[in-house]
Every structure is written in structure tokens, then in C-alpha cells.
Amino acid sequence: MPAITTNELKNGITLELENGLFQVVEFQHVKPGKGGAFVRTKIRNLRNGAVIEKTFNAGIRVEQAIIDRSDMQFLYRDGDDYVFMDTETYDQMNVPPKALGEAADYMIESMLATVAMYQGEIISVEIEASVALTIADTDPGVQGDRVSGARKPATLETGKVIQVPLFINPGDKVKVDTRTGEYMTRV
């Protein structure tokens, strides 16, 4: 595993620290008038998503974790697990829902995703920033019911419930922001 100094930190770099696997979200080199320089960071725990602040002395060595990313296609659900296929080797693997996190709310068959692995362990599944999904159930839109900004709950084909405008009907395809879970537009 390559060791780097804290002076080489960049956003997105993954580090293996004594208490887990972390990705650098933000960093700042600080050189006070007195005392030694240091690096103030915000790092995200890749296993549970928690963001913490950590300060390192400038120039100390930290272990950089090499993350393997593979483009995979979601095939189907097998019990609780999600089955993905590597688009290059056609190998299939079961991914537990915990590794998917919020992405599980937006997964439909044949969707492409990037699976990040570290030493054979799946640490995250990344999907597009927005996806087009079909509305499975919602109250029907009423003609003339066009109150600006009014919303109603709607269940997506994946089972996730989101808020949509009043004119959306069951069977409509909508674009959803996968980071916030918000309706964007009708497709």
C-alpha cells in the first residue's frame, strides 16, 4: 500500500487510517505564525458515511488505499442482495443492501452503476446523479388542479416515496435526483 505525505492530500483520495477507510472531502494547509504547519481535513468514513474533521501535522506519512472501481450492470434482486454483472468480464456478484446505501432506492434492472471495492470488500455503489423512473402509485391528477408548488406523495417503481407536483399520474416517467431524492421533471 503506497504511503503519501499529508502535503500530497487531494479531494477524493482514499486513506486507510487506524480507525477505518476514509475519503478526503475537503482539506486546507495551515501555516500559523508560531509552531509547525498542519493540514485540516474533512474526511468521510466509507463504511458508514459519517463525515469527521481530522487535523494532521504537515509532512507526516499516511497510507493511501487503492480503490478498484468497476462498471457493473444491476441484473436482479436475490433475496435481500442485489446481483450485479461486470460489463467486461460478465462475472456476477451479490451486493448486500448496506453497500448500496441510498442507491438501493433508485435501482432498476439493467441499470449501470460503478462498484468500488477495497481488498475484495464492496465499499460503495455509485449511480448517475439523476435517473428516470416510473410512478407506480399516486393519487390521480385532477383537471385544473395546478396550484403552484403544491406537492403530493408518489411511490416509484422501486418502492421509494417522493413528493411530486399534482399533475403527475400513475404510469408517468419522472426524473429524480438520486442525491436528494427530489423530483426534477417529467420525462
> Could you give the domains of the chain?
3-64 (2.30.30.30), 68-126 (2.40.50.140), 130-186 (2.40.50.140)
Q: Report the C-alpha gap between 151 and 135 in whole angstroms.
A: 14
Separation of alpha carbons 69 and 98, rounded Å: 18
pLDDT for 139 beyond 70: yes
For residue 11, which of 31, 32, 30, 26 has the smallest C-alpha distance?
26
- The percent of residues above 70 in pLDDT, for the chain, comes to 95
For the record, the C-alpha cell of 6 comes out as 499529508
Q: Could you tell me the pTM of the whole model?
A: 0.73
pLDDT at 3: 85
pLDDT at res. 45: 87
Residue type, 31: K
| Chain segment 30-82, per-residue pLDDT in tens | 998 888 899 999 998 887 778 899 999 988 999 999 888 899 999 999 998 99
The three cell numbers of residue 21 are 477507510
In this prediction, residue 124 carries a pLDDT of: 82
Q: What is the per-residue pLDDT for 144?
A: 61
* Sign of the torsion angle spanned by Cα atoms 145, 149, 154, 157: positive
Instruction: Give the C-alpha separation, 73 to 89, whole Å.
Output: 12
> Residue 149 contacts by C-beta under 8 Å, 6 or more apart in sequence?
none
Give the number of C-alpha atoms closer than 13 A to the C-alpha of residue 14, restricted to the C-beta side.
Answer: 16
